Amino acid sequence: MSKYKRIETEIKNEALLVQALQDLEIPFEQGEGLSLYGYHGDKRRETAEIVVRRKHINSSANDLGFHRLPTGGFEAIISEYDSDTRGMEILNQVRQRYAYHAVVAQARARGYNVVQQQAQGGALRLQLVKR
């Protein structure tokens, strides 16, 4: 049985986290204190407010959770096994997409329009233009 570990994230806004998951077309569940399950279908003691179920990661994965901290931010809960496999890949994609939405929200709040460009190698480049 793989132990879960907690990873600090910069994710603070639940709506932007949900948008990131939707952008990536990753199915998830949202609610208070959702139980996480291991790859055998065994219920674990860890809970989270947003959960990507193991079947959406791979057949030998554990659930991936995002747990709200008392500070209002989120930590990721991922198994040790999944932190070396597809689970960590998904977590990194979510973090990147969340960062995109956070930058766009901050820029717009400060009076900028955001122009998105695909850079060489697949990187995303954002140009901020004052309104």
Express each pLDDT in 74-130 by its tens digit.
Answer: 999 999 999 988 999 999 999 999 999 999 999 999 999 999 888 788 788 889 999
- 81 C-beta neighbours (distance < 10 Å), count: 17
Half-sphere CA count of 77, side-chain side, radius 13 A: 28
Average pLDDT over residues 53-82: 96
5 with 80: CB under 8 angstroms? yes
Q: What is the four-CA torsion angle of 74, 78, 83, 85, rounded to 10 degrees? A: -110
Task: Give the model's pLDDT for residue 123.
Answer: 83
27-36 residue pLDDT tens: 999 999 999 9
pTM higher than 0.85 for the full model?
yes
Strands 4-8 and 74-79: antiparallel
Task: Give the model's pLDDT for residue 125.
Answer: 87
Candidates 22, 23, 77; CA nearest to 54 is 77
Q: 8: part of which helix (H) or strand (E)?
A: strand 4-8
Which domain covers residue 111, as residue numbers? 4-130
Average pLDDT over residues 5-10: 96
Task: Give the model's pLDDT for residue 1.
Answer: 67
Please state the domain count of the chain.
1
